[in-house]
Amino acid sequence: MLKIVSFKICPFVQRAIAVLELKDVAYEVEYISLRDKPDWFLQASPHGQVPILILDQGVLFESGAITEFIDETCGDFRLHPSDPFEKARNRAWIELAARNYLVQCRTQRSPDSTQLETNRAELSDAFQKIEAVLGEGPYFRASQLSLVDTAWFVLLHRAHIIEECAGVDFLEDFPRTKSWQQALLGVEALMNSAPTGFTEEFMNFYLHEGTYLGSLMRSGKGKCGAVAAAACDPATLARCCR
Q: What is the mean pLDDT, run by run of 10 residues, along the chain of 242 residues? A: 94 97 97 93 93 96 97 96 97 98 98 98 98 96 98 98 97 98 98 95 95 95 60 45 42
Does residue 61 lie within any of the structural domains? yes
State the Cα–Cα distance between residues 223 and 172, nearest whole angstrom. 16
CATH number at residue 68: 3.40.30.10
Q: What is the pTM of this model?
A: 0.92
Whole-angstrom distance, CA of residue 48 vs CA of residue 64: 16
Q: How far apart are CA 108 and CA 144, in angstroms?
A: 31
Residue range(s) defining the domain that contains residue 21: 2-73
Q: Considering the domain boundaries, does residue 215 fall inside one?
A: no
pLDDT of the residue at 222: 79
Give the 3-state secondary structure of residue 130.
Answer: helix
Query: Does residue 159 fall inside a structural domain?
Result: no
Domain membership of residue 109 (yes or no) is: no
Question: What is the distance between the alpha carbons of residues 117 and 61, in angstroms, rounded to a whole number?
Answer: 34
Which residue, 134, 164, 128, 165, is CA-closest to 148? 134
Given this model, what pLDDT does residue 225 score?
55
203 and 237 in contact (C-beta within 8 Å)? Answer: yes
CA angle 190, 200, 213 (to 5 degrees): 95
In a domain? residue 201: no
- Domain membership of residue 107 (yes or no) is no
Single-letter residue type at 117: E
Distance CA 61, CA 46 (A): 8
- Please check whether residue 37 lies inside any domain of the structure: yes
CB atoms within 10 A of CB 121: 10
Q: Domains in the chain: how many in total?
A: 1
Number of helical (H) and strand (E) elements in the chain, helices listed first? 13, 4
Q: How far is 14 from 242, CA to CA, in rounded Å?
A: 15
**Does 134 fall in a domain?**
no
* pLDDT of 166: 96
- Phi, psi torsion values for 3, nearest 5 degrees: -125, 130
CB of 138 within 8 A of CB of 181?
no
